[in-house]
Amino acid sequence: MPESSGPIPSAPRVPDPNEKLVKVFDSEQESEAMVVKGLLDSAGIDSDITSVDAVQDMFPGVGGTVILVRQEDEDRARQLIEDYRRSPDADETSEIDLSEDTPTAG
């Protein structure tokens, strides 16, 4: 058996389904849920992301993605998500209105 020269990288941890899990986030946009999951992961909060699909003929517009965390991590996770929602988006740039009194050359 080959010897390892360093620590074995651990697989990402997810909460045990038998634990008490609570929903801390839901979105119709999977990409937004992935960003929030990454935020929680980077803060050391184990989370599980689940897709919720409903029969569209019966429940149009219902569905999306939810993030579950352990009950003991709920308050901290909700605070991180709230801080994320309040912060300006990194992708946003200042909008400049070029239609108002723009000086012209000449």
Structural domains in the chain plus CATH codes: 21-85 (3.30.70.1530)
pTM over 0.85: no
What residues form DSSP beta bridges with 80? Answer: none
Cα–Cα distance for residue pair 75/59, rounded to 1 Å = 31
> Residues 6 or more apart from 30 whose CB is under 8 A from it?
51, 64, 65
* pLDDT higher than threshold 70 for residue 35: yes
pLDDT 10s digits, 63-106: 688 999 999 999 999 999 999 888 876 445 445 455 555 555 55
Residue 36, burial from CB neighbour count under 10 angstroms (0-12, 13-18, 19+): buried
Query: Who has greater pLDDT, 39 or 11?
Result: 39
pLDDT bracket for residue 48 (50, 70, 90): very high
**Residue 88, helix vs strand vs coil:** coil
Take residue 56 and report the two structure tokens written for it.
């569209």
